[in-house]
Amino acid sequence: MASSSDKNLFIKNNRIYNIENGRADFPASAEQTGSFTLFLDDSMFFYLSMDLPSSNRKKARGFISNYLSTLFPEYMAENFGFVLNGSTALIYLPATEFAAFVEENMPLLKKASKITTPFIEMFAKEASFDYTDGVKCYSVSGGEIHQLFEEPEDAYTAERVLGKIIPAKTSMNIKGVEKESFLPSAFKVPAIVLAVCYLVFIGGEYLRLKGYSTSLKLRENKLNELYTLGGVSGSNDPYGTLLYKARGNRDTTQGISILTVFETMSKAADKSKITLEGVTVRDTTVNCSGTAADFQAVEEFKQKLEEAGALRTNIEDTDKQGDIIKFSVRFGL
């Protein structure tokens, strides 16, 4: 969007001028850099207006095209443009020589951030005024444009309104003029390739991180399962509590990993038949106690411990108490 700090250029009689302090007295170069608004000579256009029903821009173009077909031959109206101001469309028809002007000044037109004219900007800002482009004269009242055949003495000219219309509010669409890309054409293909590579890279990283996230979630679930099995899931420090219980209140630093112990027991214990209540670790020997549904469940627990890697597995004690079997099993890792 153009601002008051952007450069403003004015084309008059096929010459380019810088607009400074509301005046266009200083010649400018056609080789421009940075953001600028380009004001075209109003004499290159014929203006008229039309009231429109509430509609989008595509439908508005259809209404205007039908309206112009009742006023002008097709060749005169085929390159029309318009800007919307509330429910009114300001329609501009380029003069015959405008096509040659566009071809000659195409680089400048493509670089402009906005293209407009003094009359179009006045139409957007003032409800009523008279205006002359040096050839034609218009009277604007309540959004309607009428052509005058005699020029009023107080009619505005482009030079008189330049100070009123900056910064520009509107921008014209000119057939054949496309805004210049910020990338030179020589860099467009490499830029596209780099963009595709970047998207592929981002996609790969997303899938990789998603895999890590899934794996981490599985490990968290397994760890929580071990904490539940050890009866420490409700503790503020389940790992520390589990380690303390496993050491039997002794400060030992040698021996097997407590997580290895509980992972082994988790694999071996059928949770529908076995409930573990206590675990003690001494170096590489583990003593665990709990309850079982029956003696067969204890035997199966011993067997599955061996399948999970336990060594020297032995059922130390069993005691039937009502409907359950109290047991104690020792194994090594």
**DSSP symbol at 198:** H
User: Within 13 A of 280's CA, how many CA atoms are on the CB side?
Assistant: 10
pLDDT at 328 over 90: yes
Structure tokens at 219: 């490990």
Instruction: Judge whether 121 and 169 are in contact, CB under 8 Å.
Output: yes
Residue 251 and residue 248: Cα distance in Å, rounded? 9
pLDDT at 63 over 80: yes
Average pLDDT score over the chain: 83
- For 132-154, what is each residue's pLDDT tens digit? 998 899 999 988 999 998 888 88
H or E stretch covering 107? helix 106-111
- pLDDT value at position 289? 92
Is pTM beyond 0.75 here? no
- Is residue 242 very low, low, confident or very high in pLDDT (cuts 50, 70, 90)? low
Higher pLDDT, 251 or 60: 60
Asked whether the domain spanning 230-332 has the same topology as the one spanning 7-180, the reply is no
**Alpha-carbon torsion angle 188, 189, 193, 199, nearest 10:** 40
pLDDT at 248 over 70: no
pLDDT at 129 over 90: yes
Domain boundaries, the chain: 7-180, 230-332
Structure tokens at 197: 């590579």
Q: Which of 7-16, 29-38, 113-122, 182-191 reaches the highest mean pLDDT?
A: 113-122
- Is residue 183 very low, low, confident or very high in pLDDT (cuts 50, 70, 90)? very low
- Closest Cα to residue 155, out of 116, 121, 115, 122? 122
Residues 6+ apart with CB under 8 A from 35: 2, 6, 7, 113
- Closest Cα to residue 98, out of 72, 112, 79? 79
**Alpha-carbon torsion angle 73, 75, 81, 87, nearest 10:** 20
Beta bridge mates, 115: 38
- Position 283: which residue type? D
Domain boundaries 230-332, corresponding CATH code:
3.30.1360.100
What fold characterizes domain 7-180? Nucleotidyltransferase; domain 5 (3.30.420)
Tell me which of 3-12, 29-38, 103-112, 185-194 is least confident. Answer: 185-194
- For 249-297, what is each residue's pLDDT tens digit? 444 445 577 778 888 888 898 888 998 888 888 878 899 999 999 999 9
pLDDT at 9 over 80: yes
